Each structure stands twice: as structure tokens, then as C-alpha cells.
Structure 1
């Protein structure tokens, strides 16, 4: 996990995992069971979702796992977390139960 985290912090202005990030989203996959696009911030690593993609967006996203591409509508990305630190806290909490 240290290498993964080091890679995420490499492009950030701050090493503080709770620092705000000007997210730069990329589409990285589709979630077939839910019908949404999975996005990830290339700056901090936070995951998000685009819940109602158009047919064209859905079709384009099928190759995203091998070739991620920029998502240019950040207002459509939803995530329950504001920072990668909050996401890591939630992941740690779910592992302890």
C-alpha cells in the first residue's frame, strides 16, 4: 500500500491526505450491475461515479479499464468522500468490523 500511496501523493501539492483536492477525474471503468461509470481522481486517487451516463458515454467507457480517459464534467461525478483521507478512514473502519 505504501507504493500505491506514494504514487498518489507524487502529483499533489500537499502530502496531507485530508487536504482539499482540485479533482481531475478520469473514467477508469464501468459498473455493470449498477449501470454507472467509475471515475478516479488522477491527483489524489479518490473514486467517484457518474450515475446516469448516456448511451454514448456508456459505450465509450467499456475500454476505460485498459485506456482511462479524462472526464470533463466534474459536476456529474458523485462521491461520498471529499478527500482520499476520508476514503481511507472509511475503508479501515469497514475492515475492523
Structure 2
């Protein structure tokens, strides 16, 4: 095994040659849209869009961003309703704020 690694490392790197590639593509890409029907073009475009969307999907990142956004919104609403000093006596949340202060005093 070690001899094989040494032999391969000693070989000069050859430039890639499309003609001698053992893994040839089954279909030519991009296809020639001039020779296709409208229906076939639409199918290819739809398939490409679906695959591109799947390739760029980041479900964990999206879920994390949504959780962070909702957490911030809930925090701001709760803080504004219960703890923020509005500087006025007659706020729309006066009853809720007073109830939360009374519950804190009982604990």
C-alpha cells in the first residue's frame, strides 16, 4: 500500500482531458433549447428550479432565524406590557401591569 502511495505521488499530474474521461455524462448539459418543445423546456426548467431550491435550502438556519425573530417579538411585547414605564398614569396595559406587580409582591 505504501509503495502505491509513493508511486502515485511521484507521477506527474496530468491535465484533465474530457476525451479520456471514464465518467462520461449521460446527457449533454446545458441542453439545446432550440430543438426542444415548449413542454419539454418547461419540464427542464421546473426540475432545475426544484433541484436548485433543494440544494440551497437551509432548514436548520431558517428554523433558528424564525425562532430568534419570534423570541425577540415576544420579549418586546412582554416588556412593553408588563415592565416598561410609559410615563403616564392611564396606559392601556395598566391593569395587567398592576396585576403583575402584585404577583411579584406576593412571591
TM-score by length of 2: 0.22
TM-score by length of 1: 0.24
Hey, which of these two has a bigger chunk of strand by percent? Answer: 1
Hey, which of these two has a bigger chunk of helix by percent? Answer: 2
Greater Cα radius of gyration, structure 1 or 2 = 2
